[in-house]
Amino acid sequence: MIFKLIVTSILIGIVTGFFIVIYSLFTKFLSFILFLGDPYETISTLPVWYLYLIPFISIVIINYLISKNHTVKEYGVSEIATAVEENKILFTLKDLILKIFASALSIASGFAVGNEGPSAAIGAMIAQKFHNLIKLPKNMLKISLSIGASSGIAAIFVSPITGIMFAIENIAYEFVKNFSSYLILGSIISFSIAWHFLEPLIFTYSTGKFLEYKYIFASFIFIPIITLFIYFYLALKDIVLNFLKNKLPYSQKNFYMAAIGSLVIGTILLISPYAAFSGHEVVKILINDYGHFPLYMIFILIVLRIIATSTSLYANAVGGLFIALMSIGALVGYGFAEFMNLFNYKIEPFYFAAIGAAVFMGVNMRLPLTAVVLALEITYDYNVIVPTAISVVLVTFITTLKFDIKKASAKKGLK
């Protein structure tokens, strides 16, 4: 049985790695096709009507697919968790293909969702096929699905340990003691394949094990700031979703969803493409100091990204929110450091961009271990890892004093 599990893990890791590469590159290719080149460079040159037309046509297609197959709408991570708990998988190969296409089209056309959900679904579907092919016992399907999901996440983030921890906290926590080694094997192999084709988030300024205590002290000032922005995120998101769902006509709902979704996303694309799409580019720029955003622009981008995320959910854009939340947190952290520098407290904005990205995601998605591991794997820098660990624990504690973040997040479609 152990030999079969090892073989299954290896096969799942290899095949999932290649499928995730295809999925990721297809999304990027589709974005270049839709916007006639790199959208961050071409959007400013395209006609205004075109920027509204692309998200409108895309979301109409996506809603049509959802009307024909409701499983397309569900987020992959939630599906995988349900499949693991019930020891079965809830979608077919056709559902998965439609989900991948809908997710790629959602991201490529500017909607603010990520690709971690479909990636977990790809891995789980592949895992199910190998589970049946190798004829593993039915009661071990949970293990196979967990291996597949962790492999998919490890590949799409090009971060093996983050993928493993993400799967453990979301899906496979019951199997850590006895079966985590198989998750590790599948994830590492999948990551190794993806590493040759996809670009990971890299922190170019890492100082390794050198620790400056000013970043720890600053993190205690940062804690109430990012807590405030988490409340702001949830409140604004709630306002936007309630308005869109309750104040607008319900008749011809799909048409209104497509029209309003494309209107909002098109307008956001006109203001700044950095406020749209998944948010991966925003995180990469901020944590590596590739560009500079003034404080007023940072706040505008935070508001626009929250609106874009809410509208994407309302319009039925398909995908996850892991990287979208990271982008908001990176903006909050970068802005905090810039503000501190105004008072001659010299800290590097890119450090707090990395801290903010991990903390904002970790608190909202209730993934504290994943947040710390993410900070470790991206930066390898104690000046990020230590403040992230302190912040994610204390911010989680503070927010749970007010209300249960997990319930609020689930209510607003975060999971």
Q: Are 15 and 22 in contact (CB under 8 A)?
A: no
146 band by pLDDT with thresholds 50, 70 and 90: confident
**DSSP-assigned states of every residue in 24-39:** HHHHHHHHHHHTTS-H
Mean pLDDT score, 202-208 = 72
How far apart (Å, rounded) are the C-alpha atoms in residues 269 and 265? 6
Q: Are 154 and 190 in contact (CB under 8 A)?
A: yes
For 124-178, what is the HEC assignment?
HHHHHHHHHHCCCCHHHHHHHHHHHHHHHHHHHCCCHHHHHHHHHHHHHHHHHHH
415 band by pLDDT with thresholds 50, 70 and 90: very low
How far apart (Å, rounded) are the C-alpha atoms in residues 241 and 246? 8
Domains and CATH numbers, the chain: 2-195 (1.10.3080.10), 213-411 (1.10.3080.10)
Residue 3: other Cβ atoms inside 10 A: 7
Mean pLDDT score, 206-212 = 75
Whole-model pTM: value is: 0.87
pLDDT digits (tens, 9 = 90+) for 289-306: 888 889 999 999 999 999
List the single range of 60-64, 69-73, 107-111, 177-181 with lowest mean pLDDT. 177-181
Percent of the chain exceeding pLDDT 90 equals 41
Mean pLDDT score, 145-160 = 88
| Model confidence at 197: pLDDT above 80 | yes
Residue 238: other Cβ atoms inside 10 A: 14
pLDDT digits (tens, 9 = 90+) for 9-22: 999 999 999 999 99
End-to-end, the C-alpha distance of the chain in Å comes to: 34
How far apart (Å, rounded) are the C-alpha atoms in residues 363 and 233? 12
406 band by pLDDT with thresholds 50, 70 and 90: very low
The residues near 150 (Cβ < 8 Å, ≥ 6 apart) are: 123, 163, 164, 166, 167, 168, 171, 172, 183, 186, 187
Computed from CA positions of residues 317, 261, 251, 409, in that sequence, does the dihedral angle turn out positive or negative?
positive
Nearest to 170 by CA among 370, 321, 324: 370
Mean pLDDT score, 378-396 = 89
How far apart (Å, rounded) are the C-alpha atoms in residues 237 and 37? 31
Q: Are 61 and 103 in contact (CB under 8 A)?
A: no
Q: Are 65 and 116 in contact (CB under 8 A)?
A: no
| Model confidence at 412: pLDDT above 50 | no
How far apart (Å, rounded) are the C-alpha atoms in residues 166 and 150? 7
pLDDT digits (tens, 9 = 90+) for 19-76: 999 999 999 999 999 999 999 999 999 999 999 999 999 999 998 898 888 778 765 5
404 band by pLDDT with thresholds 50, 70 and 90: low
378 band by pLDDT with thresholds 50, 70 and 90: confident
Mean pLDDT score, 354-376 = 91
Residue 73: other Cβ atoms inside 10 A: 16
